[in-house]
Chain A
Amino acid sequence: MAGVEIRHLSKRFGQLYAVDDVDLSIREGEFLVLLGPSGCGKTTLLRMIAGLEQPTTGQIHIGGERMDDVPPRARGIAMVFQSYALYPHRTVSRNISFPLEALGLPRAAIDEKVRWAAEMFGIGRYLDRYPRQLSGGERQRVALCRALVRDPKVFLLDEPLANLDAKLRNTARDELKRFQRRIKTTTVYVTHDQVEAMGLGDRIVVMDGGRVRQVGTPQEVYEEPVDTFVATFVGQPPMNLLPARDPALPPGTLLGFRPEHFLPRDHVTAGEPLQTFPFAVRRVEYLGSDRYVYGTIADGAANDATVIAKLPATVGMAIPEGETLEFAVPRRALRYFDGATGARRP
């Protein structure tokens, strides 16, 4: 087990900085999620930790040892690829044993370890099958087994759930998290899916344009986003942003609030200071457990930014389309951002 220290790490492809001066400290035993849109540099960062990509500048330390010049096999890492990258010509057991064979372990020790790992993931029955004979979920477990038997100091997972169908993804997520809690190995997990990130991560690193925007627990990232990028990237539907009309605030300030805090006035908890808005309802989406209400703020300003309200099923009142209703947000749920830079304001 070991932590990972990343210092001033950059990777340039031609003119483009895929990863731009990233500093990151991954704690021992932590489940860290790298979250961002595609092209944000999260996968490049992971591949640099793995050693599949050479940094342009900067340093990587794993377990206190400098590793950026060390070949992948000697870094004490194991990686699970999005496609699982199983060896198609080898059986499941020979897939799992491959890293052990490379280590030159005796046959008996290899067999024992393969069996142990396969039992751990419940794929003991499939040891003699070929990857093409397995379902997506089974392949994913084989890939995890293959990573596990190396006894890595750090697990690197590149969107390992992305190729599973939606039904399977929830259970696979739960399994993955329980597995990591049990073996307590430092894990770096790349995803563009913020639900996965929130559900799995001890901490989340939100990246965009090769830079780290915010590092924090899921709760911190969700409730206290440091800028408008994080505010709108994390959360579904995203945080509502509109120009603040309060003359006490500096000009250009943006006001942000989460759709679930934006409720019909009568349904907001009483006894709290509120900010109310006239909400011109355009369309209502019924989603079973929630209703999404799309509309604009009709306060006389020329502001047609779409605002979304997320009403839980417990709010039973009728929301007629085309009418303007009074909605409110508790003041404690309001966030302010600089309109020019997007940075958070106190």
Chain B
Amino acid sequence: MTRRRRFADREDLLGAAMLAPALAYVLLLVGVPFGLAIVLSFSNATAGSLSFGWAGFANYSAIFADPIFRRALANTAIVTVGSQVLVVVLATAAAQVFRAAFHGKRTARFVLLLPWAVPVSLAAIAWTWIFDSTFSVINWTLKVSGLLHGWLYWLGEPGLALVAIIIVQAWRIFPFATVIVLAGLSSLPQDVMEAAIVDGAGFWRRLFYVELPLLLPVVAVAVLFGVVYTATDLGVVYILTGGGPANTTHVLPTLAFQRGIQGADLGQGAAIAVFLLPFLIVVAILMLRLARHSEVGSR
């Protein structure tokens, strides 16, 4: 037996060595592009040319003056808030259902999680068929059940197209949120729920006055993830509407892609992409603070 310390005994070296790949990944694939985006947003760089010049806040003032950008900003907010409201309501309800014991629960849970596992682009293509102007299965169903008399051009009218985008975004985040809320539900103290029963509270009172307040930290985490995923998503809008009709359904990521890559104006594209950053940071801080503040006290 050698008495010398081996590499595996040196916790300092071993730790550094094991952290290195993760650190390299974050620095090279997240940190560098992120820094580059910020730098680019203050430049007049274009795709296809190596010229680089500082532009100061020119890109930012340009996008501010642009009604398409303002529309995209509003759309991003509408889609994010709309889909997350939908997600919170649906996920809380679904978690209640999945908590109950019923036949085929495992299968149902598996099916529930499927949207989470499907690649965004594939799912979005499937949804373009669901919202297709000629073959829309939603229209067909509404028509057959007698609820619809005209015809809905889902992706052809700005308002409806936004609704469609909200539905798809909600559908995408919903399974994840349900799983989180379900985990939160199962960690609620059972005796507190029973105390509420004995104290005479009915289902709705228990739900709104005991269960949901106790679930708040968990729901906040789900919403935080949902907001970040939705506000930064390119795929769904890009495939569903491509920002159309007439640039009315752009969100910031699609607009950034259009201006920066397709339109070759890297500086403006970067400015659009970076624009949401301060807002998302504030959201993240608020949510985490809320989660900590309402944490269930020590028992």
Measured CB to CB, the nearest residue on chain B to A78 is B198
Give 1 or 0 for each of B280-296: 1 = CB within 8 Å of chain A CB.
00000000000000101
A72 to B196, CA, bound (A): 10
Give 1 or 0 for each of A141-169: 1 = CB within 8 Å of chain B CB.
00000100010000000000000000000
Give which listed residue, A98, A131, A150, contacts B196 with CB less than 8 A.
A98
Counting contact residues on chain A (CB < 8 A from B), the size range is 20 to 34
Interface residues of B: mostly helix, strand, loop or mixed?
Answer: helix
Give 1 or 0 for each of A55-88: 1 = CB within 8 Å of chain B CB.
0000000000000000011000111011101111
Query: Would you call B11 an interface residue if the criterion is a C-beta within 8 Å of the partner chain's C-beta atoms?
Result: no
Tell me how far the C-beta of A198 lies from the nearest C-beta in chain B, rounded to whole angstroms.
27
Measured CB to CB, the nearest residue on chain B to A103 is B200
Query: Would you call A182 an interface residue if the criterion is a C-beta within 8 Å of the partner chain's C-beta atoms?
Result: no
A50 to B191, CA, bound (A): 13
* A101 neighbours in B (Cβ, 8 Å): 205, 209
Measured CB to CB, the nearest residue on chain B to A158 is B191
Query: Would you call A125 an interface residue if the criterion is a C-beta within 8 Å of the partner chain's C-beta atoms?
Result: no
Measured CB to CB, the nearest residue on chain A to B297 is A132
Query: Would you call B189 an interface residue if the criterion is a C-beta within 8 Å of the partner chain's C-beta atoms?
Result: yes
A271 to B111, CA, bound (A): 85
Do the beta carbons of B198 and A77 come within 8 Å of each other?
Answer: yes
Do the beta carbons of A130 and B297 come within 8 Å of each other?
Answer: yes
* B192 neighbours in A (Cβ, 8 Å): 85-88
Query: Would you call A99 an interface residue if the criterion is a C-beta within 8 Å of the partner chain's C-beta atoms?
Result: yes
Counting contact residues on chain B (CB < 8 A from A), the size range is 20 to 34
Do the beta carbons of B197 and A99 come within 8 Å of each other?
Answer: no
A52 to B194, CA, bound (A): 7
A214 to B210, CA, bound (A): 40
Give 1 or 0 for each of A109-149: 1 = CB within 8 Å of chain B CB.
00000000000000000000011110000000000001000
Query: Would you call A102 an interface residue if the criterion is a C-beta within 8 Å of the partner chain's C-beta atoms?
Result: yes
* B198 neighbours in A (Cβ, 8 Å): 50-52, 72-73, 77-79
Tell me how far the C-beta of A84 lies from the nearest C-beta in chain B, rounded to whole angstroms.
8
Given A81-B194, A83-B189, A83-B299, decide whether A89 and B201 contact each other with a Cβ distance below 8 A: no
* A50 neighbours in B (Cβ, 8 Å): 198
Tell me how far the C-beta of A283 lies from the nearest C-beta in chain B, rounded to whole angstroms.
40
A133 to B299, CA, bound (A): 10
Do the beta carbons of A150 and B297 come within 8 Å of each other?
Answer: no
- Residue in A78, A85, A102, A150 with the greatest tally of chain B CB atoms within 10 Å: A85
Residues of chain B from 187 to 228 with CB closer than 8 A to chain A in the complex: 189, 191-192, 194-202, 205, 209-210, 213-214, 216
A103 to B213, CA, bound (A): 20
A249 to B265, CA, bound (A): 108
Do the beta carbons of B296 and A88 come within 8 Å of each other?
Answer: yes
A52 to B196, CA, bound (A): 11
Given A86-B192, A87-B192, decide whether A98 and B199 contact each other with a Cβ distance below 8 A: yes
Do the beta carbons of A102 and B195 come within 8 Å of each other?
Answer: no
* A88 neighbours in B (Cβ, 8 Å): 192, 214, 296-297
A102 to B202, CA, bound (A): 8
Measured CB to CB, the nearest residue on chain A to B296 is A88
Do the beta carbons of A99 and B191 come within 8 Å of each other?
Answer: no
Tell me how far the C-beta of A331 lies from the nearest C-beta in chain B, rounded to whole angstroms.
50
- Residue in B202, B213, B216, B297 with the greatest tally of chain A CB atoms within 10 Å: B297
Do the beta carbons of A79 and B205 come within 8 Å of each other?
Answer: no
Do the beta carbons of B201 and A81 come within 8 Å of each other?
Answer: no
Measured CB to CB, the nearest residue on chain B to A132 is B297
Given A99-B200, A102-B199, A150-B200, decide whether A132 and B298 contact each other with a Cβ distance below 8 A: yes
A170 to B200, CA, bound (A): 31
A79 to B192, CA, bound (A): 11
Given A86-B192, A88-B192, A132-B297, decide whether A52 and B213 contact each other with a Cβ distance below 8 A: no
Give 1 or 0 for each of B45-71: 1 = CB within 8 Å of chain A CB.
000000000000000000000000000
A-B contact pairs, 29 of them (CB 8 A): A51-B198, A52-B198, A73-B198, A73-B201, A79-B195, A79-B198, A81-B195, A83-B189, A83-B299, A85-B189, A85-B194, A86-B192, A86-B195, A87-B192, A87-B195, A87-B196, A87-B210, A88-B297, A89-B213, A89-B216, A89-B294, A98-B196, A98-B199, A101-B205, A103-B200, A132-B297, A132-B298, A146-B195, A146-B199
Q: Which 9 A-B pairs have the closest CB atoms?
A: A132-B297, A73-B200, A85-B195, A85-B191, A102-B200, A99-B199, A89-B213, A79-B198, A88-B297
Q: Residues on A close to B: CB < 8 A?
A: 50-52, 72-73, 77-79, 81-83, 85-89, 98-99, 101-103, 130-133, 146, 150
Q: A81-B194, A101-B205 are in contact. List 5 more A-B contacts (CB 8 A).
A: A52-B198, A85-B194, A102-B199, A102-B200, A132-B298
